[in-house]
Each structure stands twice: as C-alpha cells, then as structure tokens.
Amino acid sequence: MNIIFKRDTWQEIYYSLRNNRLRTFLTMIGVGWGMFLYVSLLGAANGMENGFNKLFSGFATNSVFLWPQTTNIPYDGFAKGRKMDLHLKDIDFLQRKIPEIDYISPQSSRGNFGTSGEQISRNGLKNTYMITGDYPVGNKISKKKLLFGRYINDADIRDKKNVIVIGEEIYKNLFDAKKNEDPIGKSVNLKGVFFKVIGVFRVSRNGGMENDHSAYIPFSTYAGLYNEGDKVGFLAIVGKPNAEAAVIETKVKDELKKVNHVSPEDTNAFGSFNLAKEFKKVTGFLTGMQLLTITVGTLTILAGVIAISNILLITVKERTKEIGIRRALGAKPAEVRNQILLESVVITLSSGLLGFLSGIFLLIILNIATMNNDSFPFSNPRVDYGNVFAAMGIMIFLGLLIGLIPAQRAVKIRPIEALRTE
C-alpha cells in the first residue's frame, strides 16, 4: 500500500483529526478505556494471584487438618457425648488403609483449639505464647522461614531433647533484637524447665495459618512435659499430588469411626478443615476474575471501535465535496478507501497505546504501594505482554474491519454528485 508512505496522506489524516479535536478525543476514550481496563484489571488479577501464592507458599495445599471432638449419636453400646482421642498409632493405621495419603504430621499444642497458652520467660521477661509439639515432617506441611538456626530434627525427637524453635515476636520480647542478638544456644524457661533455643522463625503478616507468637518443641518432649503419652492433638494429612483431599477427608473419618466404634452417621466425632478445598475456592475466584477482565476489556474495546466507525461515517459525510474533488482529479477508489482505513487504524492504535501505557502506569503505582505491605495478599501485578499484543492485534483488525463501512461509503461517492453537495 503505497498510500502509507505518502506524505500527503498523513497530512490529510493529521488535519482531519486536528480539525475535530473534541470528537477525536471522545472517540479515542472508548478504545483507550477498554485497553486500560484490560491491562489494569488483568494485571491486578495476576497481582492477587501472586499475593495468594505468596500467602500459601510453604504450605502443603493438598492437605486436611483433623482433630478429635465428641460423639453426638449413641452407638454400639456407647452413649453420646463420648470424647474422642487421636493416637500416634493411628498414623500407621491410616496410611495402610488409605493409599491416597502421602504423609501425616501429628501435632499437639497449648494455646490452640480453645486451650490456654504457656508462659515462656527469660531474665525476668515473660509472656504467654502458643506451644506446639511437632515432628520434623511438620515443617513440610508449613515451611518456616528461619531467621536463626534450624528446625526440629529426628535426633531431637528420639532423645526427647529440651530444645525450642521460637517465633520472631518471642525473640523480640525475650532477646535484644535491636542489636541482632544471637539467641542460638541460649535458654528460655517453659513450665519450670530450661529449653535451649535452636531456631527463630518468621511468618508473614498477610493472614497466614500461623503466627510468630508461637513456639515449637519436639513432640516426644511435649508428650512428657504434659504427660499425654501417645495422644495427638490433631493430624495434618497431606494427599498425593493427584489425590482429592475431599476423598481423603471422608475416608479418614470413616476409618477412625470404625476403629473407635462411632456411628457412621455421626458428624461431630471428628472435626476437620480442608485446606485444599479453600485453596481451590481462591484459585477459582482468581480464574473467574481473569476471565471477567478479558470479557469486559474486549467488549469495551469493541464498543470503542464501533464508535470509531460511526465517527468516520460522519467524517466521510462532512468530506463528501473533498472526496468528490479528489475523485474528479483522478484519485482511484482504492486510494480513497485506503485513506479512510488508515485513519481508522491510526485512531484505534493511538487509543490502544494510550490505554496500555495508562494501565501499565497504574500497575507500577500499585506495585510500589503494596511492595512492603503484607497485610493484603497482593504482589507483583504484571501482565502477559503476549496477551496484550494479541489484544492490540485484534483491536487493529477490528479497526480495519469496522473501517470498511465508512471506507465503502466514501468509495461509492460519485464525483458529480459530490461537487453538487453544499
């Protein structure tokens, strides 16, 4: 198309747009707003997805948490209201019975499930915190970000060592955090027993399942400290990659009901929380947001492109005499058609670029505003430039397609009739 490289063509487009500044600006808003919505909303949706991935990072999301409660149906000679218990032996039993289980982490705690916490003190400083007896596998369920030292290991469990991993807030309250005091190897007092600090961990402030006002000790040490034998407070059960957590949840409860002589209809004997189910809700919501963003942005762009066609129809009508003169001077129909099409593409592309740059600018501001804010699950709002360029390509194609309507109208203008037009 030689017309693209003609200076006169671009001058005519420039004067046409300049002489109708307000109309051109209002027309461009439609397409620009559509691209702005597409870029900003898609980037925001990706930012929320990144934020939730950050929130759940370190968690085994395909997991179920289960704890004992009381029965609410009499069964097999037992009255209702019987208190249930979980034991370490239940772990091997469940793994044998349910092949979908990958691994199980048993834990017991004070300061959780309605129980009061435990006081930890050092050098006259003290406060009450949640204490949890854990196995090394527990760190696979919820990965701790260690600031100092290490987590509980198998030797700690085997030898029932008096060692403790404390949260960052406990460290700040009991040690000189301002001077970055190294707490490793130093002791804190728990229930009159001295525990050696082997690690300090931090959790995010963005609504995770843990907090750093808690501390972890070996499960075997916890059992001895509270005289609980092999009783377990709750089980964190992780399914294999392709296993359905809901199926595991049902099977685990059914097997425990059988072995504990609980009615199959009893829904209160064991409580549970399906993390995989909640995580799927979040991912489903984010996917829905992205689809909604693409739909809204595309429809808005389409509406804007149609508006461009309407404006060009008006322009063609206003320039009827000019087009007639050009035709009378020998301009070919293709030249007239191509100029109108080129004008449509220029308006469409300029509007899209303006909306794209505005959307990117907004995402940069959002990224700066939320960069160090862990209170809201939002991180690195970005857009896939491949999707944006595809949208731009579709937008230009639509601009050409819609531009054919006024272009054909211009071609059909007869020179003699155009010259008679006042």
Tens digits of per-residue pLDDT, 376-396? 666 777 777 777 777 777 777
Q: How far is CA 134 from CA 151, 160, 171, 222, 316, in A?
A: 10, 12, 19, 8, 78
* Residue that wins the pLDDT comparison between 128 and 202: 128
Read off the pLDDT of each residue in 242-265 and give the average, rounded to a whole number. 92
Q: How far apart are CA 167 and CA 128, in angstroms?
A: 13
What is the per-residue pLDDT for 313?
65
Q: Which of 57, 40, 50 is nearest to 379 (CA)?
A: 50
355 vs 154, higher pLDDT: 154
Instruction: In whole angstroms, give the CA distance from residue 195 to residue 162.
Output: 5
Rounded Cα distance, 202 and 165, in Å:
11
- How long is the chain? 422
What confidence tier does 412 reach under pLDDT thresholds 50, 70, 90?
A: low
**225, 231, 233, 239 alpha-carbon torsion, rounded to 10°:** 130
Short-list 237, 59, 57, CA closest to 140: 59
- The rounded distance, in Å, linking the Cα atoms of 196 and 189 is 9
pLDDT for residue 231: 93
| Window from 39-48, 337-346, 359-368 with minimum mean pLDDT | 337-346
Backbone angles phi, psi at 144, to 5 degrees: -90, 135
**Residue 363 pLDDT:** 83
Does the pLDDT at position 284 exceed 90?
no
Residue 399: per-residue pLDDT: 67
pLDDT band for position 321 (cuts 50, 70, 90): low
* Predicted pLDDT at 21: 66
Mean pLDDT for 119-146 is 90
Tens digit of each residue's pLDDT (9 = 90 or more) over 198-243? 999 987 544 445 577 899 999 999 999 999 989 999 999 999 888 8
Comparing CA positions, the residue from 156, 151, 235, 222 lying closest to residue 193 is: 222
In the numeric block, which tokens belong to residue 28? 């461009």
pLDDT tens digits, one per residue of 294-319: 787 777 777 767 776 666 666 666 56
pLDDT > 90: percent of the chain: 36
Confidence of residue 360 (pLDDT cuts 50, 70, 90): confident
In this structure, how many other beta carbons lie within 10 angstroms of the beta carbon of residue 87?
A: 13
Confidence at residue 3, expressed as pLDDT on a 0 to 100 scale: 47
Q: For 268-274, what is the mean pLDDT?
A: 92
Q: What is the pLDDT of residue 328?
A: 62
Displacement of CA 358 from its chain's centroid (Å) = 23
168-196 per-position pLDDT tens digit: 999 999 998 888 889 999 999 999 999 99
Predicted confidence band at 51 (pLDDT cuts at 50, 70, 90)? confident
pLDDT at 347: 75
Partner residues linked to 101 by β-bridges: 239
**Average pLDDT for residues 130-156, to the nearest whole number?**
91
Do the beta carbons of residue 168 and residue 200 sit within 8 Å?
Answer: yes
Mean pLDDT of 36-57: 76
Question: Cα–Cα distance between 294 and 44 in angstroms, integer?
Answer: 12
Return mean pLDDT, the chain.
Answer: 80
Q: Which residues contact 88 (CB under 8 A, 6 or more apart)?
A: 106, 230, 232
